[in-house]
Chains A and B, each alone.
Chain A
Amino acid sequence: MATLPKTKPLPGSLLGAFFHAWTWRMAWRDSRQQRGRLSLYALSIAAGISALVGIHTLKTSVQHGIETQAKALLGADLLISSRRPIGEEIFAKMPSEVRKTGRETAFSSMVSIPTGERSRLVQVRAVAGGYPFYATVETEPPEVWGRLQTGGGILVEGALLEEFGLAVGDWLKLGARELRVLGVVKKGVPRSNRFSGFAPEVFIWHEDLASTGLAGGNSLVYHHRSLLLEAGSAKELSAVVSTIMGFFPERGVEFQTPEKRREAVGESLNRVNEYLGITALVALVLGGIGVAGAMHAHLKRRAQAVAVLLCLGCSTHMAFAVYLAQAGALGLAGSGVGTVLGAVLHAVVVVAAGDSLPVYVSPWPEPGITLLSGGTGFLLCCGFSLLPLLQIRNIPPGATLSERPGARMGGDWATRGVCALLVLLVFGVALFNGATPRRALALTFGLSFAFLALAGAAQGLMYLTKRFLRPAWPYLLRQGISNLYRPHNQTVLFLLSLGLGIFLLLTSWGVRTLLVRQMRFDAGGNGPNLYLVDVQPDQVEAVSGLLHAQQLPLIDSAPMVTMRIASVKGRQLEARAARKSESEAAGAQADAQRVPRWVMEREYRSTYRACLNATETLVAGELSSVAGGPDAAVPVSLEQGLARDLGVEVGDTMVLDVQGVLLNARVSSLRKVDWSKFNLNFFMVFPPGVLEGAPQFQLLATRIPAGQTSGQLQRALLGLAPNVSAVDLTSILSTVAALLEKAVRIVQILSGFTLAAGVPVLLGALLNGREQRVRESVLLRTLGASERQVRTILLVEYATLGALSALAGSALAIGAQVAMARWIFHSPPGLDWAWLAAAFFGAVLASSLAGLALSRGICKHSPLLLLRGNG
């Protein structure tokens, strides 16, 4: 004992301590008898992270799916359309990324039954080449779409057969050909013409087109080429698309990409993404609460051991490092398990949901996003466990000598720093989840506010019970209630875990309700699904009478004047085109104000009215309701996208060619239009008092109830006003509706999962403070308290804490839902009181049960045994 062995002093810095072998050895040894409890900690992490990973991978897959769905709305990666035939030779030199080329020739023609008794104007679409590439066409009988493109025949809409009184297998006459009706197209053929659909569609094989003799002299033929490209990133695809566009220098060629079609799906799916992001954050923060709670309880148990180490000469850094190592290792293990579970969750949801997913989603989660989510979750969990870990520094070595509580949790700089770090991390995760910076800020602020409010509520509660507890109250009640403020109380713990948990779960459920309601509204809604186009002013009365007779609502009507753009800001269309080709020839930079050609060339159908409709919002200027003086430029309101394409702002002038009459106009306002709603919307809106004299049509909008077709109405129209065409949107709307319905399913599955992951974490948190109560109860028992008395005291405490946490959590959740309904969804809050009540009573019940379970445990054992075990 006289000769001391050579020693190497332990490192002084935290970093050095963390990487020292002793730290890890000690962390390992220290965990030995705590495995059960530490597994609760690891499980909280695993629960939070599995939700995060599952939601993220699903979100990515679904996003992917939605992109594909948008492609299904177009049927191809690129659609090239022209009024003139597109030369075959161009397709010979297409880039190698083009995998397939489909073709379609579309025109209007009459179709009749072979006897010629009945005929009908239809939109003929002659297709070949496997179009559409991205949508499955539903037909009755099935599979006939493929047969059409190999053997010919004709496919029609159900309404047409109904109108003609024919069945599948009968013959129809189109031009010089008689074609056999192969079947009925129910859904899935994307519309190729931007403004087509004035008549029912019939489909024939492109090879049969020549034999009908119709395509030749028809001036209203559209030629389409649809391209399927090699899969690649959005950037790669758009590069290929612009290369291909370069092959068509001539005027009058239009290009369409899936992005443009996606507008039809509306904002709802963006909200789904946002919702999934919020849910992931909620799951993670719930996990964080579990982590912080479990770590807190663990360290409370280890406080004596830490004090001993300090007495034996261990530095605070070393002691801190031991538990940091423990938390870090467990966090890593929990994250690993959580990541695997999340990947499994992804697979299970994909396999279980099967058809209810919008599109095919691989059951294998994307590895990149899986690892990234797992890593992010790990960081956040470490952040959450730092808060209790920091308390180690406040354990006085003197705790070995007396059991007096040590220094209180201080608002020192390290704690504040960790809080700030946590807030930053939450913000970062919100951003990572796909929120805009503003939204992420709002979420972070909301969460921090809830946290502070609950901590404040806990303090207030302790003050109030201390203040108002009366000695006159029954002993057991008094004992239970005074547990709320006495030393070792669990008030803060309960409000911060149970209260925050209830807040998060209710809020995520509330957002889900808001979202589902909005999507259902978007999907079904009461918007129009059938337009009657080209109604002459003198036919309006008769046509609306017909609608009335068929018990169809006249939802909207608008006058429509066709016009073209003659010049913008004084510059002629021709001059613009000339300048562009000049600059291209010179290889100079593209004209900064290049306007898509079709924007300048196309025919605009404009209306006039004095106010906005429900799907429009003003984004700049004022909507003029008066025309202004006779010589002044006419104020016109432009749709903001068109204004962007034209490069005009409020105050700019343009000249419009209204069927030969030039009209000076000045842009007076810009409107944002929600095109997804299929209301009667227009690129240009004029004030009343200008266009009344111009040749015009009326546009009427009605709604065909679900399950009915427009066949009857169309037949009646034919007799009454043959020039009127019906644009039937029921099939495209049902596609969108189906997509949204599927998205709703996913939202429901995931919110269910969050609930399932969150509840056990909260129940675990309820039991975190049990040791102190067990000890006290055993003492009461040794002092002669009956089993019933102990149970009542515990029940009073736990039920009160549960009720108050639930109350505070629900109140905050109601606030959050009202705020979100108002600022995000622009809808009434639609609070689900039944659900709120269920959550409230559920929480009270759960925490009462926790109290009861505790008392059962105490009463089953002999007091002596427990006292010894707690020594």
Chain B
Amino acid sequence: MYIVEQGISMADPVFPPLQPPVLEVRNLVKTYTEAGSALTVLSDIQLRVRAGETCAIVGPSGSGKTTLLGLCAGLDDATSGSVLLDGQALENLAQDGRAALRGRCVGFVFQNFQLIPTLTALENVLVPLELRGDSAGRPLAEALLKRVGLGERMGHYPSQLSGGEQQRVALARAFVRPPKILFADEPTGNLDAATSAPVVEMLFALNRESGTALVLVTHDPVLAARAGRIISMRAGRIVSEEHTGHGHTA
């Protein structure tokens, strides 16, 4: 079914070109130098993600997906090229400047959930609000946790939650302060099919409601197909890009 729609979307982009890009990657190169020999992990990447757009990155393991995601979010330094996040060039920002920028407009969902193990579910969700100095966000966090089906588990620690539950807490954390762009690195990679289904549903639902742009790294073709655009990578290069027509019905 998505093959059919793919044809439509190619010809008929739903988003008008006036939408400003939240993420713009130009000529991005990443090289690791170890023991004298250089290993080029990303070469000459160009990418533009507009507000509200959803975009999946697929490719074999080791093709540089995670590296690209990290560079886009300013978690690492590029060797050359530039990343503009919400109009700001990351290479011109220091660590703390990037952190502040992330705090303002970036959300994350990780493969291994990355909840802070010493905080309860509710406290984990509250962290992004607290980091902005917002101390009145508790009802909002509670509402979101209820929304992801964990209203009864708010006082539990991550070690007391299953993988799917942990990932739902992570979703609540990502959307408690709706970001302009959400980076998700294999969000269902550690979950089985049955568990990942509700997580995926919630991810897309929340994404749609808050008008967030989504950059999603995944192995799962079904998951990738739900994004508006699929970018395929191989050996550090983008080899193809296709539009599915999904994910921009907001």
**Which residues of A does B touch, CB under 8 Å?**
1, 4-10, 12, 22, 25-26, 29-34, 304-305, 307-318, 396-398, 400-402, 869, 871
* Complex: A691 Cα to B59 Cα, angstroms: 109
Within 8 Å CB of A398, what residues of B? 70, 75-76
Q: Which residue of A lies closest to B124 (CB)?
A: A308
Across the interface, do B133 and A313 meet the contact criterion of CB distance under 8 Å? no
* Complex: A7 Cα to B103 Cα, angstroms: 13
Indicate whether B10 reaches chain A with its CB closer than 8 angstroms. no
Across the interface, do A10 and B131 meet the contact criterion of CB distance under 8 Å? yes
Given contacts A5-B136, A318-B131, contact A313 B102 (CB under 8 A): yes
| Chain B, range 152-197, C-beta contacts under 8 Å to A | 157, 159, 173, 175, 177-178, 185
Q: Which residue of A lies closest to B134 (CB)?
A: A7
Across the interface, do B127 and A309 meet the contact criterion of CB distance under 8 Å? yes
Question: B110-118, B227-235, B241-249: which one contacts chain A?
Answer: B110-118
Across the interface, do A401 and B66 meet the contact criterion of CB distance under 8 Å? yes
Across the interface, do A1 and B209 meet the contact criterion of CB distance under 8 Å? yes
Across the interface, do A313 and B76 meet the contact criterion of CB distance under 8 Å? no
Across the interface, do A29 and B119 meet the contact criterion of CB distance under 8 Å? yes
Across the interface, do A401 and B75 meet the contact criterion of CB distance under 8 Å? yes
Known pairs A1-B175, A8-B133, A311-B73 / 5 extra A-B pairs, C-beta < 8 Å: A7-B132, A309-B131, A312-B127, A313-B100, A397-B74
Chain A min CB distance to B173 (Å): 8
Chain B min CB distance to A13 (Å): 11
* Complex: A305 Cα to B157 Cα, angstroms: 14
| Chain B, range 72-116, C-beta contacts under 8 Å to A | 73-76, 95-96, 99-104, 106, 108, 110, 112, 114-116
Given contacts A312-B108, A317-B96, A398-B75, contact A33 B118 (CB under 8 A): yes
Count contacts on B: residues with CB < 8 A to the other chain: 45
B66 contacts which of A1, A305, A402 (Cβ < 8 Å)? A402
Indicate whether B130 reaches chain A with its CB closer than 8 angstroms. yes
In the complex, how many residue pairs between chain A and chain B have their CB atoms under 8 Å apart?
A: 107
Q: Which residue of A lies closest to B73 (CB)?
A: A311
Within 8 Å CB of B140, what residues of A? 1, 5
Across the interface, do A314 and B131 meet the contact criterion of CB distance under 8 Å? yes
Within 8 Å CB of B104, what residues of A? 313
Across the interface, do B99 and A310 meet the contact criterion of CB distance under 8 Å? yes
Indicate whether B21 reaches chain A with its CB closer than 8 angstroms. no
Chain A min CB distance to B227 (Å): 19
A32 contacts which of B66, B74, B118, B136 (Cβ < 8 Å)? B118
Q: Which residue of B lies closest to A399 (CB)?
A: B75
Chain B min CB distance to A398 (Å): 4
A401 contacts which of B95, B116, B132, B185 (Cβ < 8 Å)? B185
Across the interface, do A7 and B123 meet the contact criterion of CB distance under 8 Å? no
16 contacts between A and B (CB under 8 A): A1-B140, A5-B140, A10-B131, A22-B130, A33-B117, A34-B118, A304-B114, A305-B116, A311-B75, A311-B102, A311-B114, A312-B108, A313-B102, A313-B128, A315-B99, A398-B76
* Complex: A614 Cα to B54 Cα, angstroms: 94
Within 8 Å CB of A313, what residues of B? 99-104, 106, 128, 131-132
Indicate whether B223 reaches chain A with its CB closer than 8 angstroms. no
Indicate whether B202 reaches chain A with its CB closer than 8 angstroms. no
Central interface residue in A8, A307, A315, by most chain B CB within 10 Å: A315
State the 9 A-B residue pairs at the shortest beta-carbon distance, nearest first: A313-B103, A398-B75, A8-B133, A7-B134, A397-B75, A315-B96, A313-B102, A305-B116, A7-B132
Central interface residue in B69, B114, B140, by most chain A CB within 10 Å: B114
Indicate whether B210 reaches chain A with its CB closer than 8 angstroms. yes
Within 8 Å CB of A308, what residues of B? 114-116
Given contacts A8-B133, A9-B132, A401-B75, contact A30 B118 (CB under 8 A): yes
* Complex: A7 Cα to B176 Cα, angstroms: 14
A400 contacts which of B103, B106, B114 (Cβ < 8 Å)? B114
Within 8 Å CB of A318, what residues of B? 131
Within 8 Å CB of B137, what residues of A? 5
Q: A-facing mask of B125-145, CB < 8 A → 1, else 0?
A: 001101111101100100000
Across the interface, do B210 and A1 meet the contact criterion of CB distance under 8 Å? yes
Q: Which residue of A lies closest to B174 (CB)?
A: A312
* Complex: A8 Cα to B131 Cα, angstroms: 10
Within 8 Å CB of B101, what residues of A? 313
Q: Which residue of A lies closest to B176 (CB)?
A: A1
Given contacts A305-B118, A396-B76, A401-B185, contact A5 B131 (CB under 8 A): no
* Complex: A402 Cα to B69 Cα, angstroms: 11
Across the interface, do A312 and B66 meet the contact criterion of CB distance under 8 Å? no
Chain B min CB distance to A452 (Å): 27
Chain A min CB distance to B129 (Å): 8
Chain A min CB distance to B109 (Å): 11
Q: Which residue of A lies closest to B116 (CB)?
A: A305
Chain A min CB distance to B187 (Å): 13
* Complex: A401 Cα to B71 Cα, angstroms: 11
Across the interface, do A5 and B134 meet the contact criterion of CB distance under 8 Å? yes
Q: Which residue of A lies closest to B96 (CB)?
A: A315
Central interface residue in B73, B99, B178, by most chain A CB within 10 Å: B99
Chain B min CB distance to A843 (Å): 34
Across the interface, do A12 and B96 meet the contact criterion of CB distance under 8 Å? yes
Within 8 Å CB of B96, what residues of A? 12, 315-317
* Complex: A312 Cα to B170 Cα, angstroms: 11
Within 8 Å CB of A4, what residues of B? 177
Within 8 Å CB of A304, what residues of B? 114
* Complex: A9 Cα to B177 Cα, angstroms: 14
